Chain A
Amino acid sequence: MAAGRLTARTDADLIQASKRGDLSAFEQIYAAHAGRMKSVAFHLLADRADAEDAVQEAFLKIYRASGAIQFDSGLAPWIYRILLNCCYDTGRKRRRQAETPLSAEPPAIPGNVPLQVAIRSALGRIDPQYRMVFWLFEVEGFRHSEVAAILEIPEGTSKKWLFEAKRELKKLLTESRA
């Protein structure tokens, strides 16, 4: 399934067709978004199996709710809002099942590690709201308008939180490399 297949039909067409029960149209929506959705879910849940479960649950909800979609801010923000809710539900279930807390204090960043490894480690230590904006904007490549729509925050807040995220990361990375 290549994402390129999506070009012939718009998001609105695909959702309309999905509403009529056309699963091949829905498959195109899946093909266009599932990869990035898995990555976002993995970022939140830190487990591939959980991320896949969350994505599966999200697509089932998207299909059921396709009649209620508002296209004001496009399909992607709506899809990712549903995904985030599914991730939070999965996270809550997992926390209830776990005998020990999963969100232990992340380890300090060791010096002399590749920058990507250091960033990943530092991300675990910054404010979760800033981290989410950093992830959506810098890692997943969403625009600020899309990040704002996904997180239901003003666009200015998205920009401010990205700055704060990078400022906190820079501080942590500078300390670890000093």
Chain B
Amino acid sequence: MTFDCKDLNRALAVPELLPDAREHAKICDACRRELWLWNEMSAAAPALREEWETPDLWPKIRQTLVAQQKAAKPPGLAGRFDWRIMAAIAAALVIGISVLIMHSTRPAPAPGAPQDSDFLTEQTLREVERTEAAYRASIDKLTRLAQPKLSASENPAAIAAREKLLVLDSEIASVRSTVSHNRFNAQLQADLAELYRDKQDTLKEILQRAQ
């Protein structure tokens, strides 16, 4: 193969081409420098490793583990049916259902005014915002209850749930920000309710799995 300077990048990606690159580098200063840098990055990298002594770290971990072992008790019946979790789920469900009913019983749009039907009236909007605030508070409570169970577990389902909650929170923040500029848009409010419902379902799953 006739090796040219423009082949160098390909040779760096395909190790089989490296002997040709090295041969070419013997007669080309620019490629020799590039090849040297490529190899030198790998040679220099291990020295970037950060090492320092932490004689207190293991004793601290050990102390925490011993304390946890002492504190660990087999869960009784009351532990499995935590009334706070059940109450929070019930509250979130009631509010969630209210939001659903409000959306589903909204009057059908008048045939002559399709554009107006996409927007909420001031009074309806206030009701939606009140309900949303209560719903959000319920879900926040549910989140606080689920958080320790979620943080404590490293099984794949818990990791997936954590990632899903992060995505949902980000989506909720984004839609809420849009809603704040366009409060009368019914579609955005419905999207927000849908995201809250999804978050509530996810939290419920986490709590049920933990029981």
Contacts and interface: CB of A to CB of B under 8 A. Distances in A.
Contacts of B9: 167
Contacts of B52: 38, 48
B37 A173 contact: yes
Given A27-B62, A35-B51, A139-B45, A65 B40 contact: no
A139 B154 CA distance: 26
A30 B48 contact: no
Contact of B50 (A21, A42, A119): A42
Contacts of B49: 36, 39, 139-140
Interface stretch (A2-10, A55-63, A98-106): A55-63
Given A1-B58, A163-B12, A68 B48 contact: no
A39 B51 contact: yes
Contacts of B41: 115, 119, 138, 166, 169-170, 173
Interface of A: 1, 21, 23, 26-27, 30-31, 34-36, 38-39, 42-43, 48, 51-52, 55-56, 59-65, 68, 81-82, 85, 89, 115-116, 119-120, 123, 134-135, 138-141, 163, 166-167, 169-170, 173-174
5 contacts: A35-B51, A116-B44, A123-B48, A163-B12, A170-B41
